[in-house]
Amino acid sequence: MAGAHRMVLEVEFFNEVGTGTGPTLEFYTLLSKELTQRALGAWRDTEDPQSPPALAAATTTATAAAATADPVKPAAHVAYVYAPHGLFPAPARPGSFDADVAGASGGSGLTRRDLFRLLGRVVGKALQDGRLLDLGLSPAFFRAVSGRTLALADLAEVDPPLGRTLGQLASAARRIAALRRAGAPEAEWRGVMVGGAAVEDLCLTFLLPGDDAHELRPGGADVAVTAANLSDYVDAVVDASVGGGIARQIEAFRAGLGDILPSPALGVFTEAELDCVLCGQGQAWTPELLGECVTFDHGYTAQSPPVRALVQVLCGYGPEEQRSFLRFVTGAPRLPPGGLAALQPRLTVVCKQPSGGGGGG
């Protein structure tokens, strides 16, 4: 189907007069945000350290309530995934992949497969039309999509605390295996310590860390992790987190991407290039850069006092303020590859006279 979607997608909003690039970029930005709602359960997630626990609980409750509310009226508080190391699929529990997602209204039939296929189509169309997304997918996600087998090092990239813990367990498992191969007494290899404790004293079972409903093997909640099966436990957690537990999400994404672009399309980019092409880039703003990349017209020059004041304010913006400003003026919160100089049309500041035609600049 890759050749069936070559027409450029442009979006107009009801009751708004804007057309063209701005509303279309705004559409992609809004869609990106919707795909990262926490209630969908599609992504690895952690609590935002900037959000008080009470607020996090309130927004989660509001999101669940909003699922059955008027779909046209936006929810007052919607919780979104916090993924400081990039968006990466949450492991799918056995038998849950084709069930309705938690954030969908009852009986909607929207599954995790649907979400990731939609995501693939969105990414494909954004690449095809040169649009920006506000997603921030992790490099490990792109590696998985390209067909690479992910391992513990990749898990440590998307979830550093879990990666560190599993790294310690894997190191202990290797020591245990070496002792057993050397014929060491059972008491010696069972005495290998992890963080100052014996493996059995860690009180682990074959459940996925952070999800007590996800068994790593049948009856895993009742299977204790011991020195004898520690290696199996580490392998099972890694597989559930970055292997078999996300394989169907990756497959669905590829299928959606293939609806728009040829399957190998992403293979021509590195992970960093893909992030830049899809999500744009950050850029420090200086007076010199703004002077080169911004057009001042209709009564304004670079030396006009209001322009100099504006430049001073813009140069003082941090990353989040830049995002807000860019979204206000372009519809997308990040700059395209090439930065401010690549904006089309160019960012232009003009002198607007009062409607009555009186003086003032």
Q: For residue 51, what pLDDT band results from cuts at 50, 70 and 90?
A: low
pLDDT of residue 208: 97
Q: Sort 292 into a burial class: Cβ within 10 Å, 0-12 / 13-18 / 19+.
A: exposed
Q: For residue 160, what pLDDT band results from cuts at 50, 70 and 90?
A: very high
The identity of residue 254, as a single letter, is: R
> Rounded distance, CA 125 to CA 28, Å?
10
Out of 101-110, 153-162, 247-256, pick the least confident: 101-110
Tally of CA atoms within 13 A in the half-sphere of 62 that contains its CB: 14
Closest C-alpha to 207, from 193, 221, 186: 221
pLDDT of residue 11: 81
Q: Please, what is the average pLDDT of the chain? A: 83
Other Cβ atoms within 10 Å of 209 Cβ, number: 16
The secondary structure element, H or E, covering residue 305 is helix 305-315
Tokens coding 134 = 């506000």
pLDDT of residue 126: 92
Q: Tell whether the model's pLDDT for residue 190 goes beyond 80.
A: yes
Q: Domains for the chain: give ranges and CATH numbers.
A: 2-137+247-279 (3.90.1750.10), 154-242 (no CATH), 287-350 (3.30.2410.10)
Q: Sort 251 into a burial class: Cβ within 10 Å, 0-12 / 13-18 / 19+.
A: middle
- Predicted TM-score (pTM) of this structure: 0.78
pLDDT of residue 5: 58
Out of 123-137, 161-175, 208-222, 261-275, pick the least confident: 261-275
Alpha-carbon distances, residue 43 vs 37, 82, 112, 198, 290 (angstroms): 9, 9, 10, 33, 37
